Amino acid sequence: MNTNETDDNTKPFWLVKYFTFSSLIVIFLGTIILSMLNTHWARSMQRKKIEAYAVAIAKNLDHQIFFQFVIPAAIVFGEVRLSNPKQFKRMDKLVRNALHNLQIDVVNVYNEKNQIVYSFDKTLLGKENLGGANYKNAVSGKTVSKQIQRGNFFEILLGIPKESKIVTFVPMRIKPSLSSKTGPVWGVLEIVQDLSDDYKSIFQFQISVVITCSMVMGVLFLVMLFVVKRGEGIIENRAKERIRLKEQLHRAEHFSSLGEMVAGISHEIRNPLGIIRSSAELLKKKIVRTDPSNTIPDIIIEEASRLNNIITDFLNFAKPKQLNLLHCQINDILEKNISFLSSQINDQGFAINKNLSENIPEIQADSAMLYQAFLNILINSMQAMQNGGKIQIETRFNDSNVNIFFTDSGGGIPEEITGKIWDPFFTTKEKGTGLGLGIVRNIIESHKGSIMIHNKDGGARVVVKLPVIQGE
């Protein structure tokens, strides 16, 4: 097969294949990037939501602390001092009731001196300057937040730190009871919320998205791989079929030219050959009277007849006869072949084993031409077994075809000539034109059938397939 021609035919398909697979890769990478962006957006939204949630809680808590603790404590005790156990207990109860069932980890209250006067963690009470720059911003009236993450580089990069917290600083203001305006800042409220579980949930969602996309892309890849393999097979088969048809056309053109030449030469030879044979027959009649022992006319007649048979083979190969299609039975044709060769079979020590199926239907064929084809096959089998041997003839019917098998025990076909047996004028016999198998194949193919020869069980097997119904 012409490799360059096949490559040229498949180049457009290869471009489509590469474009398709590249598109799948780009789509997959785009999906991963989009998933990461969505995850980043989800984390940002979650952080904003947590910050707004903390501010709302802080303002509510500031309101309750001022009206339910600061004012009552000032009236009852004359001053607000959380170092007083009673005041601290009342403050702690108020804060915990206000934050009941809310997801708040830590609450710290700073006074105007940046000192922690209240905390869920009692070890922090009285400590100063822990608020840093965020405390200063809150004292100036701004609400600020910061995120604290703990974990290694990869954990933080992937968005699943071991610990992630949002710390929000909210100013606490004096609220005049009869005014909607807020008063000056008297302290800072620090609220700490844990985002670790939220970030883990977002990361798990991201992993689910990536796995789903990977599975979808995997299925698409397998489908595309199947389609590509199927397409490659179709294109390759079409290329092979195209090349095979070109080879057949080239061979047919070659045989056509060769046939025309052979037919012309054969006609030119046959005319003088007929004159030579008839002259030899007349000469024989005259010589018999004067010299009965002279065999020269007999030799001339015999060789002329042999040469006429050779010319007949040339003509049959060059210009096959027109088919005369009639209903016929393959088994009957084979029986006629065996009957015709019976004397030669018995004299030369051959044995014919028949296995003719009884369910062989009639076919439309030229029985005379099939008879000639089968006869040539049987004669070739007998010539391959010089000292006698067995020939197995078998018929079967399947897939709308009649199959005929001829198997001999003649040693098979040498490998070095296997590819030449169909070539015109190729023969291994001392006498022969090398056209016998060519004529057989022409006859079989003219019936829309096929013929194949291969070695089997120490001999050669010829397989002939003929369709039951011939095409118009």
**Domains of the chain, first to last:** 322-467 (3.30.565.10)
Provide the mean pLDDT of the chain: 78
> ∠ at Cα 400 (398, 405), nearest 5°?
50
What is the per-residue pLDDT across 32-75, written as a single tens digit (0 to 9) for each? 787 777 777 877 887 888 888 888 888 888 888 888 888 888 88
- Is the predicted pLDDT of residue 5 greater than 60, yes or no? no
- Is the predicted pLDDT of residue 248 greater than 60, yes or no? yes
Q: How many CB atoms lie within 10 A of CB 118?
A: 22
Model pLDDT, residue 471:
45
Q: Please state, in angstroms and rounded to a whole number, the distance separating the CA atoms of residues 21 and 27.
A: 10
199, 173, 186: which is closest to 111 by C-alpha? Answer: 186
- Is the predicted pLDDT of residue 185 greater than 70, yes or no? yes
17, 470, 79, 377: which is closest to 233 by C-alpha? Answer: 17
Model pLDDT, residue 68:
85
Q: 190 has which bridge partners? A: 108, 169
Report H helices in 291-328.
296-318
Average pLDDT over residues 331-353: 85
Model pLDDT, residue 347:
79
Average pLDDT over residues 297-319: 69
Average pLDDT over residues 154-176: 78
Backbone angles phi, psi at 49, to 5 degrees: -65, -40
When pLDDT is cut at 50, 70 and 90, the band that residue 417 belongs to is: low
Residue 322: helix, strand or coil by DSSP?
coil
Model pLDDT, residue 50:
82
- In the chain, what are the helix, strand and coil shares in percent, each to the nearest 5? 60, 20, 25
In terms of average pLDDT, the best of 26-40, 129-143, 217-231, 245-259 is 129-143
When pLDDT is cut at 50, 70 and 90, the band that residue 472 belongs to is: very low
Q: How many CB atoms lie within 10 A of CB 234?
A: 11
